[in-house]
Chains A and B, each alone.
Chain A
Amino acid sequence: MKKKNDWIDLAPLDAVPRRGARCVKAPGGRIAVFRTEDDRIFATEDKCPHAGGPLSQGIVHGASVTCPLHNWVIDLESGAVAGPDEGRARTVPVRVEDGRILMAAAPLSSAAE
């Protein structure tokens, strides 16, 4: 069984399309995993800080995603909302190793507490 400080091996990098996203079902709610054009991987909770829209369904551009419900733009690195709007989506540490996407386990289970 995985421990809290483990990295969870999720899937190969190519399972997420470039300029796209997919979801991971997690105890505290869904996590969106994003892949940019230049193969960087980010993860945030799949909830826009504005009205809870599923960020994983948005258009990925640069290192940002635009929420599909009301076009808020979220910076993937920090989770912060861009521009005049305010708010922050919770981010989850992820990294790529040997072509596999690894996600930090700790924030996932703690989210459920």
Chain B
Amino acid sequence: MAEKLIVIGNGMAGCRAVEELLARAPGKYDVEIFGAEPQVNYNRIMLSPVLAGEKRFDEIIINGRDWYDDNAITLHAGVEITAIDLERRRVADAGGRLYPYDKLLIATGSKPLMIPIPGNTLEGVMPFRDIGDVEKMTAAAKTYRNAVVIGGGLLGLEAANGLRANGMEVAVIHLVDTLMERQLDEAAGFLLKRELEARGIKVLTGATTESILGEDRVSGVRLEDGRILDADLVVMAVGIRPNIALAGQAGLACNRGIMVDDHMRTSDPAVLSVGECVEHRGQTYGLVAPLWDMCKAAADSLAGLEGEGYGGSAISTKLKITGIDLFSAGNFAGNEHTEDIILRDAARGVYRRLVLHENRIAGIVMFGDVTDSAWFYQLLREGADVSSMREILIFGQSYAGGAQLDPMAAVAALPDSAEICGCNGVCKGTIVGAIQAKGLTTLEEVRAHTKASSSCGTCSGTVEQLMAHVLGEGFARNAVPPMCPCTDHGHDEVRRIIAAAKLKSIPQVMQELGWKTPGGCAKCRPALNFYLIAAWPGDYADDYQSRFINERVHANIQKDGTYSVVPRMWGGLTTPAELRAIADVAEKFSIPEVKMTGGQRIDLLGVKKEDLPAVWADLNAAGMVSGHAYAKGLRTVKTCVGTDWCRFGTQDSTGLGVKLEKLLWGSWTPHKVKLAVSGCPRNCAEATCKDFGVVCVDSGYELHFAGAAGMEVKKTEILCNVASEDEVLEYCAATVQLYREQGHYLERMYKWAARVGADAVRAAIAGDEAGRKALADRFLHSQKFAQVDPWAERASGGVDAHEFAPLGDVTYLEAAE
């Protein structure tokens, strides 16, 4: 019969140890895991990107329910173990239930330190440790304005950045003069401070917190020098302490942490411990990389294998703030026996420092450009003698390690033992082996099988290069296609970084993402312009020069260089006065053709460009505005006559169509958006082949989405049924907004829905009331800036006047001959 293994702690260390054990001795143990948090196992070091809004919680889950089920592991989520009886080999939960074990693994991690100052128990004062804290912080950011983070270390700065991304005013208080002083030297700390300040984060170094002010809830923070900072939220991130309470009470030998030997055994032979709660050879660790080696050693012990054991870890650090590149490892304090090699490029904000001790790299600090960090770190861990390449070492592998300017060659030259993913401790050999043995062809598969780049993700590029190296052509086909030849980034990546790094102009995006062409091209420029409009409503100034001609002159270019003009007819309704005005315009400007469109309005074809402003002025005077027949935006809302006239009509389809059109007009979307509202299931308005369609029924409204009748004919998907017109408007606004936020530029709604999954759209709109309302609110906010008639702006407002008049006329030259 299998022995019983109990694991206390459902965190990264506990679960990783079990994974390692299952890889060595499946079935040897009957495993039960206890976790005080109510969730499955997630990646704690990825909480910062969740807080910054760059990842969702479900994206940082390491092992979902199915992992526990598949491996017959019993998970007691939300059950806290309160006592260990070493003698009888059993543990007890808070309710007094007893669980016997043969082997016990303690992975209780660490607790955040709360500094003992007055006011530290006020409401709004919190640590940054688990997903619950992230939820509290994002909730606070919705209501409150000012946040103070105490502690300018790794975690504190990530918290500050995340809160800033949530729109709060953020100040960081740090006790010493250099940010992240345990990982950075003064110069790099200064560059980091400057970068954070440029992002609008206030940084106070050399500042001591005296007390936290407030009645019930925190209202401010007082510093020792008397300064007072406004604060509605205080995050303490001053450090962690191994969580040894349970082990200590049980009588296991503890110092700062639970004492373990090289095989992760505690003072009781049946009890092992891994993670941030342990003390090994006098060291405790607060970073993730050492956990992996500990877990391997623990799994060897549990499996009864003679392993090498754990010999301590070299530690490297990366800051998980998008857009800030920083790397540090080893000992960089320096002393009389060490020497420095330093490279500075102030204009680029690049700083590199290598600390050498007896011709070996002892410490690395890099800021601004971390391209060679893996190589330097490898040299550090190997203890390699660098005297032969010392003069050029600082320039990196491309120069010092041979002529390897090509990144592929660089990655090919790495030894199998080179660590690629620092978060998960995965080396090159493991990745290459998995690709070859399991036939992996996508980055996602490599992540799933090796965990490389599955945590902070900064090594994704290196992993992809490695895949390209192993698979050759086979890999390129599976990679995310870049937006256009100007960049290697895909649409999603570009959108994510625009939001995360708060990029607010096209040149800034091109600079930050390393565009390969000076001014982009006709593909990426309009896409970037849309992504920026969608990300920063009211904040980003539309770049007309990056728009296709139709959206620049608000008319459709025809093959002879003339334009067509389509005034809006709300819901397909018009009046004799409007028709008269259209007729007058057609005659006045000798417009050669007048035609009905398929979207229930009138098209004036063959208008000369220089006549456009005057044509618009006349149409404006009759109360008409642009129909956006040229736009990647709302086109028409087609309707049937509904209950007002039709003997079959069930609802006021025409009136609802007008309301929808008034709600949506002027919005910019990834591609065109067409709507229709039919008054009964006979569907005369053909609502079931539109981007968003409404079919009225006796009981209310059947909502449809993701249809099309163009190059492809696609019947709509059913979204859901609703009872009132107000709901139709809300659901429609939310759906369009979701499409605006996720769609790739020039991707029709049906293609977007196919890519993300119609079920995912339904879940976000019909299955998530709060999410739907938030989407609709974001849409309405953006509409405040979008609903301006572009014709009026140009006919009488003087916008883009240069578009419509020639620069000059030199036809007289002919006469001069």
Residues of A near any B CB (own CB < 8 A): 1-2, 8, 10-11, 15-20, 22-27, 30, 33, 36-37, 51, 53-54, 57-62, 64, 66, 68-69, 71, 73, 103, 105, 108-109, 112-113
Contacts and interface: CB of A to CB of B under 8 A. Distances in A.
Contacts of A27: 810-811, 813-814
Contact of B525 (A18, A25, A59, A112): A59
Given A11-B808, A109-B814, A59 B561 contact: no
B808 A25 contact: yes
A89 to B, nearest CB: 15
Interface stretch (B162-170, B229-237, B339-347, B513-521): B513-521
Given A24-B809, A57-B549, A62-B518, A1 B525 contact: no
B437 interface: no
B559 interface: yes
A99 to B, nearest CB: 15
Contacts of B549: 57-59, 68
B802 A16 contact: yes
Nearest to A61: B519
A69 B814 contact: no
Nearest to B506: A19
B526 interface: yes
A8 to B, nearest CB: 6
Nearest to A8: B810
B546 A19 contact: yes
Interface in B766-817: 802, 806-811, 813-814, 816-817
Contact of B802 (A2, A15, A54): A15
Contacts of A22: 802, 806-807
Contacts, number: 103
B802 A17 contact: yes
Given A16-B802, A20-B545, A10 B807 contact: yes
B522 A25 contact: no
Nearest to A37: B519
A83 to B, nearest CB: 10
Nearest to A23: B806
B70 to A, nearest CB: 50
A64 B806 CA distance: 21
B809 A1 contact: no
Nearest to A71: B522
B816 A16 contact: no
Nearest to B545: A19
Contacts of A103: 810
B557 interface: yes
6 contacts: A15-B802, A15-B807, A16-B802, A20-B545, A25-B808, A27-B810
A62 B525 CA distance: 12
Contacts of A113: 817
A24 to B, nearest CB: 5
Nearest to B806: A23
Contacts of B807: 10-11, 15-16, 22-24, 33
Given A62-B517, A71-B522, A57 B557 contact: yes
Given A17-B545, A109-B814, A61 B809 contact: no
Given A24-B807, A68-B549, 16 more contacts: A8-B808, A15-B802, A19-B546, A22-B806, A25-B810, A27-B813, A30-B806, A51-B559, A54-B557, A59-B526, A61-B519, A62-B517, A62-B519, A108-B813, A109-B817, A112-B813
Interface string B535-554: 00000000001111110010
A37 B517 CA distance: 13
A26 B811 contact: yes
Contacts of A66: 521-522
A94 B816 CA distance: 21
A26 B519 contact: no
Given A19-B546, A24-B806, A57 B561 contact: yes
Nearest to B486: A61
Given A54-B561, A66-B522, A59 B546 contact: yes
A24 B817 contact: no
A103 B808 CA distance: 11
A44 to B, nearest CB: 14
Contacts of B557: 54, 57, 68-69
A11 B549 CA distance: 23
B503 to A, nearest CB: 18
A112 B546 CA distance: 34
Contacts of B522: 58-59, 61, 66, 71, 73
Residue in A61, A62, A68 whose Cβ sees the most chain B Cβ within 10 Å: A61
Contact of B816 (A23, A58, A109): A109
A73 to B, nearest CB: 7
A61 B548 contact: no
B431 to A, nearest CB: 37
A113 B559 CA distance: 27
